[in-house]
Amino acid sequence: MIEITDKSKCCGCSSCVQRCPKQCISMREDEQGFLYPIIDTLKCIDCSLCEKVCPMLNPSLAKEPLQVFAAKNKNEEQRLRSSSGGMFILLAQYIIKQGGVVFGARFDQKWEVEHCYAETIEELEPLMRSKYVQSNIGNTYKEAEQFLKQGRSVMFVGTSCQIAGLKRFLRKEYNNLLAIDFICHGVPSPGIWRKYLEEIKFSLSEAAGKNSVLSFSLKPMPVITGINFREKQNGGYGWKKFGFEVRIKLPSEGDKNSVLKSDIFYENIFMRGFLSNLYLRPSCYRCTAKNGASGSDLTIADFWGIQDYHPEFDDDKGTSLVFVHTDKGKSVIERLKTKIDVLESNMSEAIESNPSYTRSVSIPEKYSLFWKTFIKSESVFISVMATMKLSIKDRIKRKVKNRFAKVIKSDLNKY
């Protein structure tokens, strides 16, 4: 029976939950906002299936890829709407046109991130683009297994540990499965993301309604209408300096008043905390699924550094990096070659600017300070700013407005 005594040894894939024949495992959120399995020992029959399907208890060996290349989806409109070079949408459309099913991550109604599947081209849109939050995998391994057993083509995209979890869960190879992971820096906490969204709704409503005489508790809550972690076009950020964008509608002001919060990624509080590794899942600091060990057919990523190696290939609209691990992956790419601009590459070019392919990030020095501050302040803004010691000038630049800004300023003195 699974027992989590060291949180860094559970990636939260839910393979154990979905395989348990007694349905006696459920996932529960911890104080850092990550899900972990909890077992109802009264119902458990000690069959050990949960241990057999756990990818962290049964890690696979690293594997050299068959091929590494840079790629750009020739459909520029699709590429601009994608995070990198638009490989996901190209592969996904191909599978749907074969009558297949595509699994990936989308925002749910509360703007939290969940895994789901698409059976039509239209249903692919919400799956596009990176969401830098751990997705809730739900029952998608079971759903994928059902489709596979029916003989339908299934493409499953996820973090490397989600793909490793899927492969352990299935316990056999399926010719009709195309498993795709991406180079994974690590996943931020869904609990931190939820709190961050509350805080930006609050600060944006304060900023927009500064002349209102209503107190905050009487004001209608603003509604989020869109989020894009990888905005390339609005604001003219481009691919390398992508923008983080949130759209909010203020109910009192009708459709006209859609507030846009948009920052270059390194100036956004949530992205700064993410990229400084302050709130990644504990397993991300000791990842066992990197370097081809997930069992995926293809790994897709950003080809960071392409401008140095092959400047003629870079137009700042997005270039993908693709690792081919299996013959199955190779043959799908062959079939799509007329739709992709391809440039052969190699491992040293690929990983020099993208070390997360081979190694986990380190726990930052200020990790404990962040969590101590967060537990005390219950604020992502305060905790990231206090941890990173942002200057007053930085704070003003980030436009944390009015009353909210004052609260933060006075609270900061406490930490």
Ligand X SMILES: Cc1cc2nc3c(=O)[nH]c(=O)nc-3n(C[C@H](O)[C@H](O)[C@H](O)COP(=O)(O)OP(=O)(O)OC[C@H]3O[C@@H](n4cnc5c(N)ncnc54)[C@H](O)[C@@H]3O)c2cc1C
Under rule CB under 6 A, residue 300 binds ligand X: yes
Under rule CB under 6 A, residue 404 binds ligand X: no
Give the pairing type, strands 35-39 and 340-344.
Answer: unpaired
Closer to ligand SF4 by CB, 51 or 352: give it: 51
Q: Which of residues 162-201 bind ligand X (CB under 6 A)?
A: 182-185, 187
Q: What does the angle CA 405 – CA 193 – CA 156 come to, to the nearest 5 degrees? A: 155
Give the integer Cα–Cα distance in Å for 403 and 409: 10
DSSP line for 219-271 = SPPPEEEEEEEEE-SGGG-TTTT-EEEEEEE-GGGTTT-EEEEEEEGGGSHHH
Q: Which of 34, 132, 156, 244 binds ligand X (CB under 6 A)?
A: 132
Number of residues lying near ligand X (CB under 6 A):
33
Q: List C-alpha distances in Å: 312 to 114, 197, 307, 316, 319.
A: 38, 39, 8, 11, 12
Give the integer Cα–Cα distance in Å for 278 and 372: 12
Give the integer Cα–Cα distance in Å for 288 and 133: 19
Q: Which of residues 260-299 bind ligand SF4 (CB under 6 A)?
A: 281, 283-284, 287, 289
Residue 26 buriedness (CB in 10 A; 0-12 / 13-18 / 19+)? middle
Q: Please identify which residue in the block is written with the tokens 């990888």.
A: 230
DSSP line for 147-178 = HHHTT--EEEEE-HHHHHHHHHHH-S--TTEE
**Among ligand SF4, ligand X, none, residue 87 binds (CB under 5-8 Å by kind):** ligand X
Give the integer Cα–Cα distance in Å for 54 and 341: 38
Under rule CB under 6 A, residue 140 binds ligand SF4: no
Tokens for 42, please give them.
């009264």
Under rule CB under 6 A, residue 113 binds ligand X: yes
Q: Which amino acid is at 220?
A: P
Q: Which of residues 156-185 bind ligand SF4 (CB under 6 A)?
A: 159-161, 165, 184
Q: Which stretch binds ligand X (CB under 6 A): 38-46, 151-159, 167-175, 206-214?
A: 151-159
Q: How far is the CB of 135 from ligand SF4 (least distance, A)?
A: 10
Q: Which of residues 13-72 bind ligand SF4 (CB under 6 A)?
A: 13-16, 20, 22, 24-25, 37, 39, 44-50, 54-56
Which residue is closest to ligand X by CB?
104
Under rule CB under 6 A, residue 358 binds ligand X: no
Under rule CB under 6 A, residue 55 binds ligand X: no
Under rule CB under 6 A, residue 131 binds ligand X: yes
**Among ligand X, ligand SF4, none, residue 301 binds (CB under 5-8 Å by kind):** ligand X
| 360: nearest Cα among 138, 71, 59 | 59
Q: Which stretch binds ligand X (CB under 6 A): 39-47, 53-61, 85-93, 260-268?
A: 85-93
Q: Which residues bind ligand SF4 (CB under 6 A)?
A: 1-2, 10-16, 20, 22, 24-25, 37, 39, 44-50, 54-56, 159-161, 165, 184, 186-187, 281, 283-284, 287, 289
Q: Which residues bind ligand X (CB under 6 A)?
A: 82-89, 104-105, 113, 127-133, 135, 157-159, 182-185, 187, 300-302, 320, 354, 356
